[in-house]
Structure formats: C-alpha cells, structure tokens
Amino acid sequence: MNAHSKPAPMMTRFAAPTGSATWDKKARTLRAVISTGAPVVRRDWDGPYTERIDIAGVELSERIPVLNSHRTSDVRDVIGTVLNVERVGDQLEAVLKLSRRAEVDDLATDVADGIVSGISVGYAVTEWTEEEGADGSRTKTATKWRLIEVSIVPIPADDAAHIRGSNMTATNTDPAKPETTPRSRAARIATELEIRGLASVAGLGDDFVREQIEAGATLGAARAAAIDAMADAQAKQPATRSMIGAPAGAAGFDNPEFRAAAMADAIVARAMPGHEPSEAARQFVGLTLPELARESLRLSNVDTRGMSPSAVIQRSFAGNTTSDFAVALSSAVGLVLRRAYVAAPGGLKAVARPISIADFRAQTHVSLSGFSALEKVNEHGEFRRGTIEDAGESVKLETFGKIFGITRQAIINDNLNAFADMPRRMGLAASQFEAEQLAALVVANPQMSDGKAVFHADHGNLAASGAAPGETTLSAARLALRTQRDDANQLIGLAPKFLIVGPQLETDAEKLMAAITAMTTDDVQPIKLSVIVEPRLAGKAWFISADPAVADGLVYAHLAGEPGPQIEHRYGFDIDGLEMKVRLDFGAAFIDHRSWYKNAGA
C-alpha cells in the first residue's frame, strides 16, 4: 500500500432514492445520508478499480451548495444550501435547505412525494492510498477529501446512501434466500424499472437490460456495468467535439468555440491580476487547470469519473488541435502574448505605416502619376487621364518564429507562471524584433529602384553637412520636405511631424521642443515636432518625417488577417506537454523617399 497526494479534481457518487418523510415543507429542509464510504466501481486509463472513501477524512468547504444534477452553468443551477453535515456512526448525514424560488417549487413537490430523491455528492480527493490485489484488481481509498457540493439527481448509483425517510426497512441482502414478501417483490420491480431508466439515459439497448435482470443484478451492480459499457463504447470511437447543433459563432456553451474563448479568458484572469473576465468566463475563474480540463471534457459529454488528473489532461488533448481545453490554453497564451506585444514600446512604428499583404510574393508599390493636379475639362466634356504606374519599390514578407513548451507537469501543478511569464516575454520579443528590423532599415539606408539610397542628395532629403538639431537645421529640413515634388513634377507640400533621434540626442531634442512662454520674438519656437526616441539609432544622426498616414515612406507589413505574432499549438512528443509555436510574418521597406529627411549630426 502506498499513500500519495494529488491535485483535487471533482468527483461524484450517487445515493439511492427512498421515501422523503424528513421533508419539512415550512422550513423547506430535508435530511439525507450523503455518504457511507461504500465502494464504487470506477475506471481510469489503467482500467476499472474500486474506490472507497474514508468518512473520517472528510473536510468541509466554507459554503456547500445544493445543485440540480451537478450543473454549474448558471447561478439558477444552485437550488439550495447545506445547513449542517455530521458523522453519524460510519456515515455522513446532512441537512439540506431548498431555495424558495418559484422554479424550485416543482422539484420540492417531487421531493416531498418521494418521486425524486436521488442524492449525489461532488468532492475533491487530496490524498489517496492504493493497493493491488493478487488478481490484479485495484482499490483506491480517499483518505482525505473535501466535500464541494451536494446534488439532487434523477438516477442514483450508491445503494448505501439515501434521502432519509420514515419508511426505511431492512431488505434482503442474501441472494440465496428468495424474496417472498410483497415488500421484496415491489423492491425487485422498482429495481428493474430503475435499470431500464438507467439504460435509457446511458444509451444502452434492451440486451443490456435483459442481461442485468436475468443476472439478478442490484442497482449498484447495474450502474457499474453501465459505466463499463459506456467507457468501452467511447474507447472504440474517435474523440469528437460536442456541437449539439450550435451554429458557428453562437454565443452559448453548446458552442465549443464559445466555451474555449470563455475558458481562455478565465485562465488569463487568474494569470494576470487586474484582468477583468467576461461574464461567460466568470464560472471558470475559480477552477484550476486540471479542473478546467475535466470541465471541458464534461461539457463535451465525456465521462471523467475516476480519471486521475494526468489522465484527464491527456484525454483533454485528444485531437490536440480541436479539443476545447487545448484551444483554451493556446488562446490564453495568445491573449497574454498579444497584450505584451501591443503594450511594448513601438520605436519607429510611430513613424511607419502598417500594411497588409495577401501572400509572400513581393508587393510592388503603386504610384499615381499626374494625379497631383486636376485639369480643366474642356467644352466637349473630355477628361484627361492620369496614369497608374508601378514605382518599383516593393515590400516582401518573411516568416520568423520560435517553439516553446508548457509541460504536462506545469499544467497538472496549475503553474500559472507558464501562462503569464513566457508568453509575455515572447510578446515583448516579437515587438522588439519588429523595432530592430525598422531601425536596421533606417540605418542601412538601402538602395531604391532608381539606383540611389533612400537618403541621397539627388533625392533632396540629405543635409549637405552634419549639424545638431536647432532652429536653422530644422528649418532647412522642413524646407526640404515642403519643396518635394512627385513624379509629375507637382509640389506635394509635405509637412514634418516627427523629430527622430537616438538616445544621445534625446535630452537636447526634448529641450528644443519644450513648450515655453516666449517673452520676446527671439524666444519663439517656430517649429513644433513630436520627438521619437529610438534607442537602436546610435550616434548623433537625426531625422524628420511627415505623418505616415498622409505620405508614403517607411512601411511595415503583416500577412493579411494575421497582424502581429500568431500562436499555433499541438500536444507534443518532443516535450511532454503542449508545444506552442510563435509565428511572425513580417516585412519592412521604404516605398518612398520624399517624406523623410536625414541630417548626419555633429
């Protein structure tokens, strides 16, 4: 026998229906035996095993709700509360109080009439002991477990627990002795009816019912057989996602995409304090990652009872790219990464125009020749034609990326640092990479299609001699932009907007552009520009540029529909966990020289 601790996924076990003489209509309370520690047959990836719970090891949550059949998708699923739990001999008994809401009245009536009286408890095991018999059978005992909720359910499974009633009488437990009393015959008929109901809910046919009845199976044995039959049928079919007829994009938990997005938002809310989760995500915020994986399987109609956290994680990655849990983890990583990417200092992005490119072929810049000035239409109504020409400047996308992993151990341990720190670093790295590419392009002063560098005397955008920024040099730079002409020799009339400097000129530039109240005309600052500091621009060279929204110049490109870094995922073999690939399709180029000016400085 060995004792070990594990994370605590929620498990359930059911109670058998009996009478309900303990129902107090005025107080809306009832008393129930919620557990006797009776053995329950469960199944994990290693096959079936017998689970027992040690009543002495129970720990109580601060507030224990009464739920409608374990449902947790809406606050209305809470139909009451547990007033008291106590040990009575070898069993746990509880006093349940039902809500006075109108929609609970019908259920209360059925409870009072004894029609509905099945009980199921939800609990999280924090410590197990496990032993293996000589025949290979396994028995796992929950020595420490936390009671999370109590549910009223239609079909029970544990014959040893029940809602207490005054008509509790002993029943025959010896199969060698025939049942001869009317009470025994009624119990047998009731058991057969319950088995038929169980088969209907489990989707099992008449053959299953006949086999159980002919074998004289008890209700508990029939339930165990039903669980095995469902598990066998499920194992023979490929894992699928439960669409339940939901249209793509439908805002509801029947839509897997909606579920995954809500789960991702909940993970981000836990990983990044201050993040406000959406309304849909709030029900998932309190769940650990293993619990979230179990919930994603439950919402996809997968029975996880008895599965260990490791088995739940592996099963939740079945079909790795489409499972709700895998998509939720990947989306959460993507959200953190993109948030860091957007928040990072943009450097020269402020003076560059973003564009989208449909594919990886070089996209040639298009110019409009002769469109700068409109011409008078003659009396015959004839319009003169302008021309559209390829200017020869192009920009091309290239793909950059890296793979990192989030291990299975990190997921089982609910290590949220893996979902916050690494994606944040990758987001910052992507933003810095783009800034480096843009800065390198400006420093390199690449050759354009006319055979001349971007900053060239023939382009009218390069100072004849280097000097520090000041009124005289800035005035010359502004004049150079103002007098630029297009391909049709028409004045463009560009206005400078940005002064771009490296860190060595940052203080001087800010002083130069500081707003002051002039006392004399000599103190008036005639040129007002926004200062952009790019730490990757070494030395004392400085630049001015026009607004990229109104004039072509420096551009950076992403693949159409995929701005910034993108995340892809798979359940890996190279690592024991979820592999994340960060991909960035990016390109940058000068597509026109007229909106920029350079002074080499001094």
Sign of the dihedral through C-alpha 149, 190, 301, 247 = negative
| 246 is a domain residue | no
Q: How far apart are CA 311 and CA 461, in angstroms?
A: 66
Q: How far apart are CA 484 and CA 433, in angstroms?
A: 32
Assess whether 144 and 214 both reside in one domain: no
Assess whether 354 and 336 both reside in one domain: no
Assess whether 271 and 325 both reside in one domain: yes
Q: Which of 184-198, 363-377, 470-484 has the lowest mean pLDDT?
A: 184-198
| 173 is a domain residue | no
The helix (H) or strand (E) run that includes residue 66 is strand 65-68
Which ranges of 317-356 would DSSP assign to H, the alpha helix?
A: 324-343
| 175 is a domain residue | no
Tokens found for residue 48: 């079936």
Assess whether 144 and 184 both reside in one domain: no
| 306 is a domain residue | yes
Give pairs for 213-217: CB < 8 Å, separation 24+.
Answer: 216/175
Work out the pLDDT band at 589, boundaries 50, 70, 90.
very high
Q: Mean pLDDT across the stretch 260-283?
A: 84
Say yes or no to pLDDT of 537 above 90: yes
Burial 419-428 (b: 16+ CB within 10 A, else e): bbebbbebbb
Q: How far apart are CA 521 and CA 418, in angstroms?
A: 60
Pick the more confident residue, 175 or 232.
232
Tokens found for residue 82: 């547990």
438, 352 Cβ separation under 8 angstroms = yes
Which pLDDT score is estimated for 44? 62
Say yes or no to pLDDT of 498 above 90: yes
Tokens found for residue 78: 């809470």
| 88 is a domain residue | yes
Give pairs for 97-104: CB < 8 Å, separation 24+.
Answer: 97/27, 97/28, 97/29, 97/66, 98/28, 98/29, 98/30, 98/66, 99/28, 100/28, 101/76, 103/76, 104/79, 104/80
| 199 is a domain residue | yes
pLDDT > 70 in the chain, percent: 74
Assess whether 362 and 461 both reside in one domain: yes
Tokens found for residue 547: 């607004």
The SS3 call for residue 587 is strand
| 95 is a domain residue | yes
As a whole number, the mean pLDDT across the chain is 77
Assess whether 103 and 209 both reside in one domain: no
Which pLDDT score is estimated for 389? 52
Assess whether 199 and 135 both reside in one domain: no
Report the Cα 244 to chain-centroid distance in Å: 21
Q: Which of 349-353, 474-478, 569-573 has the lowest mean pLDDT?
A: 569-573
Say yes or no to pLDDT of 280 above 90: no
Assess whether 88 and 155 both reside in one domain: yes
What CATH number is given to the structural domain containing 420? 3.90.1690.10
Say yes or no to pLDDT of 162 above 50: no
Residue 517 CB partners (closer than 8 Å, separation 6+): none
Assess whether 117 and 185 both reside in one domain: no
Q: Calculate ∠ Cα 193-195-197, nearest 5°.
A: 70
| 242 is a domain residue | no
Q: How far apart are CA 105 and CA 19, in angstroms?
A: 18
Where does a domain end: 188, 210, 237? 237
Q: Which residue(s) pair with 366 in the sheet?
A: 390
Best-predicted range by mean pLDDT (81-95, 242-256, 307-321): 81-95
Work out the pLDDT band at 373, boundaries 50, 70, 90.
low
The SS3 call for residue 593 is coil
Report the domain count for the chain: 4
Assess whether 119 and 163 both reside in one domain: yes
Assess whether 552 and 597 both reside in one domain: yes
Q: Which of 212-221, 411-420, 441-450, 518-527 has the lowest mean pLDDT?
A: 518-527
Q: Which residue(s) pair with 85 in the sheet?
A: 94
Assess whether 563 and 548 both reside in one domain: yes
Work out the pLDDT band at 167, boundaries 50, 70, 90.
very low
Work out the pLDDT band at 11, boundaries 50, 70, 90.
low
Tokens found for residue 215: 């074998």
Amino acid letter for position 251: A
Say yes or no to pLDDT of 542 above 90: yes
Q: How far apart are CA 150 and CA 359, in angstroms?
A: 56
Which pLDDT score is estimated for 533? 93
Amino acid letter for position 110: D
Whole domain around residue 329: which residue ranges?
256-341
Burial of 578 from C-beta contacts in 10 A (0-12 / 13-18 / 19+) = buried
Place of tokens 């689970």: 51
Whole-angstrom CA distances from 134 to 51, 128, 319, 348, 395 are 17, 20, 37, 72, 72
Q: What is the DSSP letter of 229?
A: H
What CATH number is given to the structural domain containing 44? 3.20.16
Q: How far apart are CA 291 and CA 367, in angstroms?
A: 58
